[in-house]
Amino acid sequence: MKRVDFVASLQTAEPPGGLSAELAALWWDAKGDWARAHGMVDELETPEAMAVHAYLHRKEGEEWNADYWYRRAGRQFRRPMLEEEWRALLDGLTEE
């Protein structure tokens, strides 16, 4: 999915069809539904899903849990600001 289309879809009530679980989680997070976003990636074992999972726990304020998921993801995804991290995750999951 193109990044611009994903961002435009945030103006709708439901996410576009065919989103990956990771993108759907970012979509629901942007819409303010943390629990739904978390449920999308809670059981997934891909590095991308674990990075989104880590971001969600960081946003929740559970740094220790976020750190666990960042380690599991095997890469450093953390950005200084949550908004920057959300954007970096989106950039890694979409096309320009």
**pLDDT tens digits in sequence order for the chain, 96 residues long:** 999 999 999 999 999 999 999 999 999 999 999 999 999 999 999 999 999 999 999 999 999 999 999 999 987 767 889 999 999 999 999 999
- Residue 85 in contact with residue 58, Cβ under 8 Å? yes
Helix (H) or strand (E) holding 58: helix 47-60
Joined together, the tokens standing for residue 2 give 């193109």
Distance CA 81, CA 59 (A): 10
pTM, 2 dp: 0.94
Distance CA 32, CA 1 (A): 21
Distance CA 38, CA 24 (A): 10
Domain ranges of the chain: 3-10+20-93
Distance CA 62, CA 53 (A): 11
